[in-house]
Amino acid sequence: MLMLSVSAVARAEIPPPDVLIRDTVHDVMELVNTDRGIVANQKRLLGLVEAKILPHFDFDRMTKLAVGRAWRDASDEQKKALTTEFRTMLVRTYTNVFVTYPDPKIEVKPVKLDDSMTEVTVRNLIRISNGQTVTVDYEMEKTPAGWKAFDVTVDGVSLVISYRGSFADQIKQAGVDGLIKTLSDKNLAASRPAAQQKAQSN
């Protein structure tokens, strides 16, 4: 009876996926709105994304889906490197969203959930200050650690699928190591200050 009670409490503590997204959005936007300096400071913004958003993503599955067939033939070391670089790239994608779309209004649609469901789509409507509306869907999977996102679809375009095509082309040309190097180079370039990037492009 004690074990059953503990198990029931553990299940009850896992928030539903829509609640998880809504609470995360609320926490992040509250921090940004009370301290606007975060958006202008890349280091602090990266820290915010790392602490509040990334723990709710399954980067292993996302990378596996994006790499496609080549994943099964990659070594453990290559898989680790791919996941690390893909994760870094998505971190910077999220930080750019805050800079590009200030003061968004985000509506998280409720999800009809039953105990048998292990994958769901959490739909979001993002209204930007210029009147534009963007739809963002999170594909979520129930894991022992709670609900995790394994894909993001923006206005009907899947992040995983869009990368899969370009990744396949790079792997065909230069192999998995070539893809790792390409991702690493892009992440390194993106991490440089804007002034330094401009000077190097001249």
Looking at the structure, give the CATH architecture of the domain made up of residues 2-192. Roll (3.10)
pTM (2 d.p.): 0.82
Q: Is the pLDDT score of 197 beyond 50?
A: no
pLDDT, averaged across the chain? 86
How are beta strands 157-158 and 105-108 bridged, if at all?
unpaired
CA atoms within 13 A on the CB side of 84: 11
Q: How confident is the model at residue 91 (pLDDT cuts 50, 70, 90)?
A: confident
- Look at 1 and 21; give whichever has higher pLDDT: 21
- Number of Cβ atoms within 10 Å of the Cβ of 40: 9
Per DSSP, the three-state class of 117 is coil
Please answer whether residues 24 and 16 qualify as being in contact, where contact means their C-beta atoms are separated by less than 8 angstroms.
no
Residues 6+ apart with CB under 8 A from 64: 71, 79
